[in-house]
Amino acid sequence: NHPNPDVVKQGGKAALDELQQHGIILGTSI
Mind listing the pLDDT tens digit for each residue in 3-19? 677 776 777 788 778 77
pLDDT band for 22, please (50, 70, 90 cuts).
low
pLDDT at 17: 80
- Extract long-range pairs of 11-14: CB within 8 Å, 24+ residues apart: none
Which of the two residues, 4 and 24, has the higher pLDDT score?
4
**Which of 1-30 are b and which e, b meaning 16 or more Cβ less than 10 Å from the residue's Cβ?**
eeeeeeeeeeeeeeebeeeeeeeeeeeeee
More reliable by pLDDT, 20 or 29: 20
How many whole angstroms separate alpha carbon 12 and alpha carbon 1? 17
Rounded Cα–Cα distance for residues 30 and 8 (Å): 8
Q: Tell me, what's the pLDDT at 5?
A: 72
Q: How high is the pLDDT of residue 16?
A: 76
Distance CA 29, CA 18 (A): 17
